Amino acid sequence: MPRIAVVDRERFNPENSQLMMDLCPVNRAGTECISIAEDKKIAIDEKTCIGCGICVNRDPAKSITILNLPDELASQPIHRYGQNGFHLYNLPVPQFGKVVGLLGRNGIGKSTALKVLSGQLSANLGDVEKEATPDDLIAFFKGKEAQAFFEQLKAGNITVSYKPQQVDLIPKSVSGLVKDVLMKVDERGAMDSVVKELEIENILDNDISNISGGELQRVAIAACVLKKANVYFFDEPSSFLDIKQRIKISKFIRNLADEHTAVMVVEHDLIILDYMTDITHIMYGKEGVYGIVSSVKTTRNAINTYLSGYLREENMRFRDKPIQFIEKTEERKAAGELQVSWKGIGATLGKFKLDAKDGEIHKDDVIGILGENGIGKTSFVKLLAGVDKPEKGEVDENITVSYKPQYIDTDSELTVAEVLVDAISKYSTTLIAPLQLEPLFERKIKELSGGELQRVAIARCLSQKAGLYLMDEPSAYLDVEQRLSVSKLIGDIIRERGASSLIVDHDLLFLDYLSEKLMVFEGKPAINGTAVGPLEMAEGMNMFLDDLKITFRRDPDSHRPRINKEDSVKDREQKKAGKLYYS
Ligand code: SF4
CA of 37 to the centre of ligand 1 (A): 16
pLDDT of residue 583: 54
CATH topology classification for 354-535: Rossmann fold (3.40.50)
The CB of 2 under 6 Å from ligand 1? The reply is no
**The predicted structure's pLDDT at residue 385:** 75
pLDDT at 11: 83
Query: Checking DSSP bridges between strand 34-36 and strand 42-44, what pairing results, if any?
Result: antiparallel
The response to whether residue 459 sits with its C-beta less than 6 Å from ligand 1 reads: no
| pLDDT at 251 (0 to 100) | 93
CA 52 to centroid of ligand 1, rounded, Å: 5
| Distance between Cα 34 and ligand 1 center (Å) | 7
Residue 24, ligand 1, Cβ within 6 A? yes
Q: How far, in Å, CA of 123 to CA of 128, rounded?
A: 9
CA 552 → CA 237, 238, 281, 352, distances in Å? 22, 19, 24, 32
Cis peptide before 77 (omega within 30 of 0): no
Neighbouring CB atoms inside 10 A of 527's CB total 11
The predicted structure's pLDDT at residue 395: 82
Contact 415, 442 (CB under 8 A): yes
CA of 214 to the centre of ligand 1 (A): 47
- Ligand 1 pocket check for 437: Cβ under 6 Å: no
Tell me how far apart the alpha carbons of residues 55 and 27 are, in angstroms, rounded to a whole number: 12
Q: Is 43 in the pocket of ligand 1 (CB under 6 A)?
A: no
What is the rounded CA–CA span in Å between residue 363 and residue 516? Answer: 12
**CA dist 304 to 312, 325, 479, 563, Å?**
12, 11, 16, 15
Rounded CA-CA distance 457/536 in Å is: 28
User: Cα(25) to centroid of ligand 1, in Å?
Assistant: 7
The pair phi, psi for residue 234, each rounded to 5°, is -125, 115
| Cα dist from 471 to 143, 380, 567, whole Å | 50, 12, 36
Cα 19 to middle of ligand 1, angstroms = 12
* Residue ID of nearest Cα to ligand 1 atom 2: 49
Give the number of residues written for the chain.
583
458 C-beta closer than 6 A to ligand 1: no
Tell me which residue has its CA closest to atom 3 in ligand 1.
Answer: 52
Q: Which of 259, 318, 270 is nearest to 291 (CA)?
A: 318
Domain ranges of the chain: 3-68, 354-535, 549-583
pTM, two decimal places: 0.84
pLDDT along the chain (583 residues), means of 10: 82 92 95 92 91 92 83 77 88 95 89 85 89 92 90 90 85 89 94 94 90 90 96 91 91 94 94 95 89 93 93 81 70 70 88 89 90 83 80 80 76 86 88 88 83 91 90 87 88 90 90 89 88 89 86 89 89 89 72
- Residue range 3-68 forms a domain whose CATH class is alpha beta
Residue ranges in 80-205 assigned as alpha helix (H): 110-117, 134-140, 145-154, 170-173, 178-185, 191-197
